[in-house]
Structure 1
C-alpha cells in the first residue's frame, strides 16, 4: 500500500462497518475510484497487472489509519453506514473526519498521534501497488 493525501483523491468512500480499534490503532477500510488509474496529481497507480492502457474508472482499496487514538465517536447523521470523506482535520487532542453527506468521526488522541491514507491495489488486482 502507498500513502496518499486527501488532495490526490476524490470522494473516497469508507464503510463504517469496516472499522477496527485496538491498542490505540484505529483503521477504516473503503475504496476510491481513480480515472484511468491516476491520482488527481496525474501520477499513475500501477498494480501487479500494470494496466497502462486501461481506460475508464478503476476502483482501488483505501485504508485510513491513525495511531495514538484513545477513543472515538461516530455520528452518522445521514444513516448511510458510510462516510464519503471530505476533510481530515488534525487538532490538539483530536483527529476529525468529516463527510460530504453528514457524517463525522472524531478520534480523541494522545499527544503523539498520526494518521494517513493508504491506497492499495485495484479490487480486480491482488498484490502490491506503486506509483509511476
Structure 2
C-alpha cells in the first residue's frame, strides 16, 4: 500500500492506494484540514516530495487527470483516466502518448526516490 498526503487549494487530502493488479488499484481518499496536511508533510513524509499541477479534462462520463510535473520530475506529463472497470471502453485522444500502465517508474512513490530527470533516455 501507498499512503499519500497532498494539498489542493485550501484542502488537505489523505490517500491510501492498494496493490496494483493489472490496471486496477484500490484507492481511498479523505479530506483533512489543510494545517493537518501541512504538519503531516513536514513531520511524517520522507524526502522527495512530488511537485505537480493536476488538470482535469472531462470526456463524457469519464475524466482524464493530466499531471504536469515540476522540480526533479520537470518534463514529465502523465495522463490517467479512472474507469469503472478495466474493460470499460473509452476513446483515446490524439494527444495521448505511450502507454505506461504497469510501469512502476511512473508511480509517485517511485518518482519521489528516482525522479524523471535521473532516468536514462528511453
TM tier relative to shorter chain: under 0.3
Structure with the higher helix share, 1 or 2: 2
Name whichever structure is richer in strand by fraction: 1
Normalising by structure 2, report the TM-score.
Answer: 0.27
Q: TM-score, normalised by structure 1?
A: 0.25
